[in-house]
Amino acid sequence: MNLLATLRIALNALRVNKLRSMLTMLGIIIGVAAVITMIAIGAGAQARVEDQIKSLGSNLMIVMPGSTTSSGVRLGAGANQNLTEDDAAALVREIPEVQVAAPSSRGTRQIVAGGNNWSASVYGINPDYLEARDWPLASGRIFEPHELAGSAKVALIGQTVATQLFGDMDPIEQSIRISNVPFTIIGVLERKGQSMLGQDQDDVVMVPLSTARNRLFGNIQGKLRRVGTIQVKVREGADMKQAEESVREVLRQRKRTPPDQEDAFTLRNLTEILQAREESSRIMALLLAAVASVSLLVGGIGIMNIMLVSVTERTREIGLRMAVGARAKDILTQFLVEAVTLSLIGGLVGILLGAAGSFLVAHFAGWATRLSPESIVLAVGFSAAIGIFFGFYPARKASRLLPIQALRYE
């Protein structure tokens, strides 16, 4: 008997007991739908973390001022404004693994353009900052050397600021006022989206570092080259741990920190932090899929149970088929095909429900989901494997019946 004829017989047998077949498939349908939905949610979460890693920039470390003590009271991190542009230059000069070290200062200011105004973060930067953050321009140009040296009143703005102040109008060459200081917009940054902390990275205005220090944030005597942070980008392929140790060693030497004292700065390796978060997201996705797979196991047990009942009910039929020449292999194939067909049909319906569930979760819950072809292929293959695994024992039991005993069965 060929496989096509066996499949036709199996489908006819399932059609005779439609309700029972549907109820048997229900476990597989629920299991596959749950696995597809959970994998889509987990993949969406992982993709979101990957997007956050890309938005921050690759191989990135951030150096921030450390804490300080005033009148016996230890102030928090960042209170000791002891980082300078010279420190950034030293990192690039003395550490081969460092591609760029971009000093920057930050403050929040009210931005006015015509009749519109908006509060945004204002950064004092140089072009190395954009390279460190992998942040290209959507339009316009970056700061020129004479603008950086001469505290020029030019600015780059993020997409959020551009939308809030100018709507659909092109902001290039438009004027804005920051703390009543007029600036000319020379560039618009590409969209970055939210950071891993949920902050809008596009809600920014960037001006030359010297401009921020001399015209916006105050020119404090003795702190002419002080900066708030240094963004350190390590070259591709370099050892991040080794680069981190080198950065720490150079800065400790420059700050003349004794061996028995803690660092006068704070160093954060964002790549390690985000990689740990990505790994946590991946483990959570696998955990969700594993929990959902339990329902597939239950569905497989249901298939085995129903197939055993079917073998018992059709014992006389099996005896008649053997009596007219059917071999044990034919009986085994028939019942195995029935089990696999039940499982595959349930798997296909489950895939449709899982895809719909992923869409509904993304639409109503606002969670990021990603339905991948690999998860669909995995679900179909897993469904077939469950049909074979749980259908083999009932099929083998049917194939080993003796014709005489089968015909006498009441």
Cα separation values, 208 from 117, 124, 205, 219, Å: 21, 5, 10, 14
Evaluate whether 298 touches 382 at the Cβ level (below 8 Å): no
Instruction: Please state, in angstroms and rounded to a whole number, the distance separating the CA atoms of residues 37 and 356.
Output: 9
Q: Assess whether 189 and 230 both reside in one domain.
A: yes
Q: What is the pLDDT of residue 170?
A: 93
Whether residue 109 lies inside any domain: the answer is yes
Token digits of residue 87: 């420190």
pLDDT of 47 = 72
Say if residue 259 is in the same domain as residue 286: no
Please give the tally of structural domains in the chain.
Answer: 2
Task: Please identify, among 263, 295, 312, the residue that sits at the C-terminal boundary of a domain.
Answer: 263
Q: Which helix (H) or strand (E) holds 118?
A: strand 116-125
* pTM greater than 0.85: no
The whole-number pLDDT of residue 49 equals 67
Q: Which of 263, 293, 321 is the last residue of a domain?
A: 263
Is 317 in contact with 75 (CB distance < 8 Å)?
no
Domain of residue 137 covers 81-263
Q: What is the mean pLDDT of each run of 10 residues along the chain (410 residues)?
A: 69 76 82 82 73 66 72 46 88 93 92 92 93 92 93 95 93 93 95 77 94 80 72 88 91 88 84 66 71 75 80 75 76 80 85 88 78 78 80 79 64
pLDDT of residue 58: 65
Judge whether 102 and 209 are in contact, CB under 8 Å. Answer: no
Residues constituting the chain: 410
- What CA–CA distance (Å, rounded) separates 402 from 97? 77
Q: Are residues 343 and 387 in contact, defined by beta-carbon separation less than 8 angstroms?
A: yes
Judge if 219 and 138 occupy the same domain: yes
Residue that has been written with the tokens 């944030």 in this structure:
217
